Amino acid sequence: MADLEYSEDPRRSKQQRRDEVTGLKMWKLPVTDPAEQNSTKASYDVILLSDEPPTDPPFESGGGLRPIVLEGATVQPRLGGTGQYKSLKYLVRATGFRLVTGQAGTSSGGSRSAGGTGSGKTAS
């Protein structure tokens, strides 16, 4: 899904956000970490940087979750929350992903530009 700029004017057409450093378009990929014990931290968005839209991994039966590995990933800590309920959050960015098949640590052949999540994470 495209990461669009915020506009207070609903009539104004929204532009897709671009990374300030690379100038590449930003795409959001919702991911889930099935190993995370805290339910509020188990799902989050990965920002994918690419001029081309991400391609979805082929659908696999069994719940719709597909294990993937991030390529070119960076993680940046941020302060999240409001008021007295602040917490440490992370901004996760990647340049691509690849599917994990079979045994843990084995990945499929093709890597995909701009469409990924962290090691051991699953795309939802």
Decide if 69 is inside a domain: yes
Q: What does the pLDDT look like over 76-111, one tens digit per residue? A: 999 988 888 888 888 899 998 888 876 544 444 444
The pLDDT value recorded for residue 107 is: 42
The pLDDT value recorded for residue 116 is: 40
Decide if 107 is inside a domain: yes
Count of domains for the chain? 1
Looking at the DSSP bridge assignments, the partners of residue 29 are: 46
Q: Which residues span the domain enclosing 100?
A: 26-123
Three-point CA angle 90, 52, 26, nearest 5°: 25
Decide if 2 is inside a domain: no
Decide if 87 is inside a domain: yes
Decide if 8 is inside a domain: no
Decide if 9 is inside a domain: no
Q: Is the pLDDT of residue 32 over 70?
A: yes
Decide if 101 is inside a domain: yes
Decide if 16 is inside a domain: no
Q: What does the pLDDT look like over 44-76, one tens digit per residue? A: 889 999 888 887 766 665 666 788 889 999 999
Higher per-residue confidence, 4 vs 26? 26
Under 8 Å between Cβ of 42 and 34: yes
Q: Supply the pTM of this predicted model.
A: 0.66
Q: Three-state DSSP class for 111?
A: strand
